[in-house]
Structure 1
Amino acid sequence: MLINPIGQWIKLGIRFPLMVLALVSLTMGCASAQTGESTVTVPQDGKWSDRMALSTIKRSPEAWAMRDYKLLGSPQWAYTYGLTLYSMQKAYERTGDDRYLQYGKVYVDQLIDDQGQIKNYHIWDFNIDDVNAGKLLFLLYEKYQDERYLTAMQTLRKQLDWQPRTRSGGLWHKRIYPWQMWLDGLYMGAAYWAQYAATFEDSDESFSDIAHQFKLIESKTRDLESGLLYHGWDESTLQTWADDETGLSEHFWSRAMGWYAMALVDTLDFFPEDHPDRQALIDILNRLVVALEKVQHESGLWYQVTDQGDRYGNYLEASGSSMFVYAMAKGVRMGYLPEKFQAVAERGFDGLIQELVDVEANGEIHLTQICGSAGLGNDPYRPGTFEYYVGEAIRVNDPHGTGPFILAALELDR
């Protein structure tokens, strides 16, 4: 396993110029992998959403080879692609630039066969992460009326019907994570489910169940003192990372709360106006952003371990910060949040640009200080300690960050 020097430098308190950070990570192969010659020109001014989207396409002319996924050797159906390519679909809807739509369509068509079966996907894994990339299919089906897309969407919806649940009715994160709910899973599953229900179903039952997922995990993970949400909850309390009494993981991880915040604002897009649980979701969103504002750094950003900014080894992290900016800005625009959170979002985006975005002379931009990945349990075991979260790989241009950055830039029209 390669040692990530950026993470080591941050642990040592060394602050390197953003250009150096970007170049080192690119040299290590942590940035998007270019699989062919690109003719994309990135503008040196204009919207940050366009600049990041075009920079991503320039670095990786084939979407499946983003970051170090080229090491897998072939396209894979995964939530990270769903995140970034969904942001490009939103850029397409805003600009009409067909390159953004086609970039994702090529990826989808590489992975859905003539029968509508998703390659490398196994429903019996009950991996809720696998549902997220299905969000790409709604727009593609609307535009092209290709029955393959509909079949794939129906398969992912069927997974949610049979997804194992906690005794209190919460969807497990994966079959290999029994009795566990993670904040991440609400973005992966609930937001897709809401869009599917609004598009193809005519029943309040699904929306009541979706609302239950949000309400249940908030009731289990919310810290009454800070208002922040712990990353995960193990109903059985059997996991080493879980508290023996509460089943909670030990720390607040910004990206986990970012997933949850984005899930709330995206789910509300499809939630019926007259559903009795709609206001409950809006109230949850308000409670969360109030807590997040209190721990926002003076730069406008948020730390990897959200509430421990003064602790040695912690760092200001790009993906969680981008997610918070997007959720707050969209929440204000849609009327879910008070207007004052627009300024909180703007400060956050200013922090991203000033602290974590590197601009090359040719216009290409790089987003730095992105946590590569983090979770709980599995093998090798992830214990959810502070040292674990700050010790995970720190990457440049990882899709966990570039996707939310594009969404945030679109939402703020910056």
Structure 2
Amino acid sequence: MSQSKSILVALFMISSSMILNGQENSAGRIPEYEIPYELPSVETIQEVLNRIRVYYESTSTQSIVDSQTGEKITDFTTFNPNAEPSPGFSSSYSYTHGVVLSAFEYIDDVTGDKSFFADNTKFFDFVVQNLPYFQKNSDNIHSEKIGNWGRILDFEALDDCGSIGAALIKTYLKSKNEDYLDLINRTAEHISNNQFRLDDGTLARHRPQYQSVWADDMYMSVPFLINMGVLTGDNKYFDDAVRQVLQMADRLYIPEEELFDHGWSVTSADYDPRFYWGRANGWVMMSMAEVLSILPEGYQGRDQILHLYRSMVRSLANLQDGSGFWYNLLDKNNTYTETSCTAMFTFAIAKGINEGWINHVYGPVALTGWNAIKTRVLENGAVDGTCEGTTFAHDNTYYYHRGKSIYATHGYGPVLYAGAEMIRLLQNEKIEIINTSFGSINSTFHFLLKSEWPEKK
């Protein structure tokens, strides 16, 4: 080979090496995440939770007002037929408010920050102090509902009392305000004896089809029943809670999908069309987490519930979007990513790891779920991206086009719960979290169970 050719070959080799090295160090090989792929801190989570609490407190004055003038009523000697609780989320006697208040009580346990639980006693004191005014004058009330207190004088559905009744029990167990007991007992009477049930005792509705079972109703009943068992020491409430989970699952759980259909009715029975709505499955996961937290190990039916829970976690991990969110229809990734179900699943999965119900390897699923959720909490503490109230429907078009906004209050409680459980997960002394390496082309989170590894010397 001539000298000139040798020089050309050498230059080519150097040039090729420079190109390859350039490719090796190219930023294009480093993943670009839509939502930061990072380990949150306890402090940043607490900041989000406090922001939501402040927003919640701002939504209502928690007073009795004249619905026509908006003026606060201070004279209760004579009944004002226009009287109602002040508008706003933090005054409502609703199932979505119940989730928030249950979450506040849980945050009190997790963080010791008393400002959250103070909102529980403030609200329930407001209710029991003013409810007699409406009870004594019920004949003069011209509507079946008292503003945002709904059907508080005469419960008609599980939505009216179950979720918020569970929060009331939890608040009573800490505050011991015996003025709460009448409302607790009225709720127990409705759920145990007055609410429509199928012949086998499964809680149901005549809506929208005759004899319909909704996955949502697991949360509207089971947390109340299991906590009523704690309050009274009567296992009949535990037994009914277990029965509701398992008998609803008999009709709604689809083994091949490891998910719950939104609803079922006697009319369509085994050939019911299936829609895996995100929040319905979220209600189920939160309900099972509550039951598993309270039922003693070995209690009849607990292992069956644990199996359902574990199988759903496995399926949900696979269905999670790359952003960390889940979809409004879980199996259809051309529906929008939705906040409330993402928070519910994040809570339930983190809870399962913390309690030892599921394997710690699911940790990154919860972590990326939280990272997604926090992007939906606005600067003022409002929670955005939550699907509006949704009926048990029978067509994709309806589910695809559900609205979403900060005024769909179904997302607030689950986000609070998710944050509290993520704090527990970050502080879980049994687990070591291997963080990602910023700027790496191949780096992920690893959750390790410390007891499986030799002690480091």
TM-score tier, shorter chain, comes to 0.7 to 0.9
Q: Is 1:338–2:364 an aligned residue pair?
A: no
Aligned mates of 2:257, 2:103 — CA distance in 1: 31
Match of 1:36 in 2: none
Q: CA deviation at 1:218?
A: 1.5
Q: For residue 90 of structure 1, what is the aligned residue in structure 2?
A: 106
Task: Say if 1:275 and 1:64 are closer, same or farther in 2 by CA, change over 3 A.
Answer: farther
* Residue equivalent to 1:406: 416
Cα separation, 1, equivalents of 2:216 and 2:89? 27
Residue 276 (structure 2) pairs with residue 276 (structure 1): no
1:206 aligns to what? 237
Identity of aligned residues (%): 23
Report how far residue 128 of structure 1 moved. Answer: 4.5
SS of the aligned residue for 1:134 comes to helix
Cα pair 2:225 2:240 within 8 Å, conserved: no
**CA deviations over 1:164-205 (Å, ceiling 9, x no partner):** 2112321114788652221111112111101111221333x4
Matched residue type, 1:201: G
Q: What is the 5 A alignment of 1:302-313?
A: 302-309=326-333, 311=334
Q: Distance in 2 between matches of 1:148 and 1:119?
A: 20
Seen in structure 2, the aligned counterparts of structure 1 residues 86 and 177 have a Cα distance that, compared at 3 Å, is farther
Over 3 Å counting, the alpha-carbon distance change for 1:129 and 1:173 in structure 2 is farther
1:168 aligns with 2:200: yes
* Unmatched runs of 5 consecutive residues or more in structure 2: 1-33, 36-42, 65-84, 136-148, 427-457
Separation of aligned partners in 2, 1:75 and 1:249: 38
- 1:358-373 aligned at under 5 Å gives the runs 358=378, 360=379, 364-373=380-389
Once the two structures are superposed, the pairs formed by residues 315-326 of structure 1 within 5 Å of their partners are 315-326=336-347
Structure with greater contact order relative to length (CA < 8 Å, sep ≥ 6)? 1
1:134 aligns with 2:165: yes
Contact preservation (8 Å) 1:64, 1:74: no
Q: Name 1:295's counterpart in structure 2.
A: 319
Q: Which residue of 1 aligns with 2:177?
A: 146
Matched to 1:253, the amino acid is W
- Pick from 106, 117, 128: which aligns with 2:122? 106
**What SS does the aligned partner of 1:233 have?**
strand
1:54 aligns to what? 53
- For 1:315 and 1:114, the matched residues in 2 are separated by 41
How far apart in 1 are the matches of 2:406 and 2:307?
A: 35
Q: For the pair shown, which has the larger CA radius of gyration, 1 or 2? A: 2
The correspondence of residues 38-53 of structure 1 with structure 2, limited to 5 A, is 45=44, 47-53=46-52
1:203-242 map, 5 Å: 203=235, 205-234=236-265, 236-237=266-267
Residue type of the alignment partner of 2:309 = L
Contact 1:83 1:399 in 2 (8 A): no
The one-letter code matched in structure 2 to 1:105 is: T
Contact 2:150 2:160 (8 Å CA) reproduced: no
Structure 1 CA distance for aligned equivalents of residues 363 and 234 of structure 2: 34
The count of residues paired between Structure 1 and Structure 2 equals: 349
Amino acid in the other structure paired with 1:369 = G
> In structure 1, which of residues 348, 366, 374 is the aligned counterpart of residue 369 of structure 2?
348
What one-letter code is carried by the residue in structure 2 that aligns with 1:186? M
Q: Assess, with a 3 A threshold, how the Cα gap between structure 1 residues 388 and 343 changes in structure 2: closer, same or farther.
A: same
Mapping for residues 58-77 of structure 1, pairs under 5 Å: 59-60=58-59, 62=61, 75-77=91-93
Q: CA contact under 8 A between 2:353 and 2:360: conserved in structure 1?
A: yes
CA-CA distance at 1:249 after TM superposition: 4.8
The question of whether the paired residues in 2 share the 8 Å contact of 1:129 and 1:189 is answered with: no
